[in-house]
Amino acid sequence: MDKVSVAVIPGDGIGPEVTREAIKVLRAASEVHGGVALGFTEYPWGCEYYLRNGRMMDERGLDVLRDYDAILLGAVGAPGLVPDHVSLWGLLLPIRKSFDQYVNLRPIKLLRGVPGRLIGKGPEDIDFVVIRENTEGEYSGVGGRVHVGTPFEVAIQSNVFTRQGTERVMRYAFELARKRQKARRVVSVTKSNACNYSMVFWDEVFHAVAKDYPDIEAVQVHVDAAAMYVITRPEWFDVVVATNLFGDILTDEGAAIQGSIGLAAGANLNPERKYPSMFEPIHGSAPDIAGKGIANPVATIWAATMMLDFLGYEDMGALVISAVERTLLEDGPKPVDLGGAAGTAEVGDAICESLYRLAG
């Protein structure tokens, strides 16, 4: 039997609530699958840890995480207690950058059983993937401030695009389009009419890479038009490749058309597997509902299936997604954000029951 080690960082707000259900479902899937034993080790890092220790994770945190097969993250953030830039740059971004998780993969898919928000658009229409460059671009962290607090204060934030970083994420997108066998189209999201250095460079690299994939249609679209197309014709998209910032924004828009941000999952991948990859929901810590037991755990469970897929257990991941869809289709517990009244644990239990029925 294969053994997989998973580092779990429940984090802040609803993070511990939803990761608890994801682990519950993963244990059930491992039980019925029988081919892999999942081991979980939890680390109490996040904003509470910061308030006690002055840092978001242990000073040797990265060394500790390095030996795991994967990382499952719940949520990071405690607005009002810890500034967002401190929580982000103290935990999430160091993991992404240190482990070269240069692909942020986010599926935008309307699951069966979820009421769509777009009139006339069903699961067959809303099914695409966004590949977001994850380690540079607008989130490179290059810049500074001078004359702070004076009328002459200046703040500079530089976008950094390298040929290696840009090309490798684009190649990943084209390779994924080949595997998906859907529209065989890669859409590059740009803004080169306004950003005449960084985005013109992005465009040039995109078209150079596209020449190596003559079987895949390569399309360049400005980000404002792409934002409109996500709503007006989502069926046109297959694989989208975007910069760190553009991908971040468009996938939140994508979460809306797939029914709820409580359904939106993400993966931070080091495709070469030199370092562990990290899997997380994209909804954040949601402090307004933290502790109420009503958070939707599906996004975290979906992120866990992405972890299974990446590690080579696609059949196990497909079983979990089928159990999620079956739960949403049946006249049973439904998450609050989808119009139901079921709590977080109740939804997790229902998905486990569906999983057992499907397997048995």
- Give the residue numbers marked as catalytic: 139, 191, 224, 248, 252
Tokens of 51: 């308030």
Separation of CA 231 from chain center: 20
DSSP classification of residue 35: S
DSSP H or E stretch at residue 57: none
Helix ranges restricted to H, the chain: 15-33, 47-53, 61-65, 84-87, 93-98, 163-180, 198-210, 223-232, 244-257, 298-310, 314-329, 344-359
Tokens of 140: 């490179």
Residue 13: what residue type?
A: G
Q: How far apart are CA 352 and CA 355, in angstroms?
A: 5
Tokens of 205: 């690299």
Render 134-186 in DSSP notation, one character per residue.
-SSEEEEEEEEEESTTSTT-EEEEEEE--HHHHHHHHHHHHHHHHHH-SS-EE
Question: Which residue in this structure is represented by tokens 């409109």?
Answer: 228
Residue 331: what residue type?
A: D
**What is the side-by-side strand order in the sheet with 265-269?**
36-42, 2-11, 70-75, 277-281, 265-269, 103-109, 127-133, 239-242, 185-190, 217-222
